[in-house]
Amino acid sequence: MNDQSIRLLLADDHPVVRAGLRAVLETEPGLTVVAEAATAEDAVARAALGDIDVVLMDLQFGGGMGGAEATAAITSRPGAPRVLIVTTYDSDADTLPAIEAGATGYLLKDAPPEDLAAAVRTAATGRTTLAPTVADRLMNRLRAPHAALTRREGEVLVLVAEGLSNQGIGARLHLTEGTVKSHFARIYAKLGVDSRTAAVATATDLGLIRR
């Protein structure tokens, strides 16, 4: 490894995914996989050692800390490495928390190998790379902010999709039924719908929630 190599940490709970990323990236000049982490907690600890330039971070781990939380923990430290999210999820419920947490880029796992390598190099310089679907949704969100759901409204809709009643949603989120109904009123107005089923379908189509 020369002094110009970009040093990488692969954080994903699936060994096959880590092996695939390693196989792709180690064929690229100037990229070196220094370490792997199977949990978000391990990724945070490993990134803190100071010898990593870019962390390739999944969003969903088997349990414990999630990728967005780990990203926030990593990027909050002085001299932190860049974090490039590499995941299968592209809904607003996934992308926005990760970007807010400090992720430099957001790529999907079905991206071509050359796009992955380019995103790593871009992240290392502190510039942003976004998967096209993610970039489109962020632009749409900026153009139509009225359609954006709050995190709580998203949580309510996800529970509707799971089949919970207003009472069940209130119990799960520690809200009164009246508060749940107020959330529905705002959701219906934002999405231009008049039923729970239509709200879930529309929010899913817009990428506001993941089912």
> pLDDT, tens digit, for every residue of 108-162?
999 999 999 999 999 999 999 999 888 887 776 666 655 678 888 888 999 999 9
pLDDT at 141: 67
Phi, psi of 79 (to 5 degrees): 65, 25
3-state DSSP call for residue 105? strand
Using CB atoms within 10 Å of the CB of residue 120, give its burial: 0 to 12 exposed, 13 to 18 middle, 19+ buried: buried
Q: How far is 80 from 53, CA to CA, in rounded Å?
A: 8
Instruction: Please state, in angstroms and rounded to a whole number, the distance separating the CA atoms of residues 153 and 10.
Output: 33
Whether pTM exceeds 0.85: no
Q: Of 37, 68, 65, 62, which Cα lies nearest the Cα of 52?
A: 37
Beta-ladder partners of 108 = 87
CB 52 within 8 A of CB 1: no
Q: Which domains are present in the chain?
A: 6-140 (3.40.50.2300), 145-205 (1.10.10.10)
> What are the angstrom distances between the C-alpha of 111 and each of 21, 116, 133?
11, 6, 11
Cα 58 from Cα 86, distance rounded (Å): 5
**Phi and psi for 25 in degrees, rounded to 5?**
-75, -30
- Helix count (H) and strand count (E) of the chain? 10, 5
Per-residue model confidence as pLDDT tens digits over 188-205: 888 888 899 999 988 888
The answer to whether 11 and 67 have CB atoms below 8 angstroms apart is: yes
Q: How many residues does the chain have?
A: 211
Per-residue pLDDT tens digits for 56-111: 999 999 878 999 999 999 999 999 999 999 999 877 778 888 988 999 999 999 99
Structure tokens at 185: 């009123």
What tokens were used for 49? 């050692």
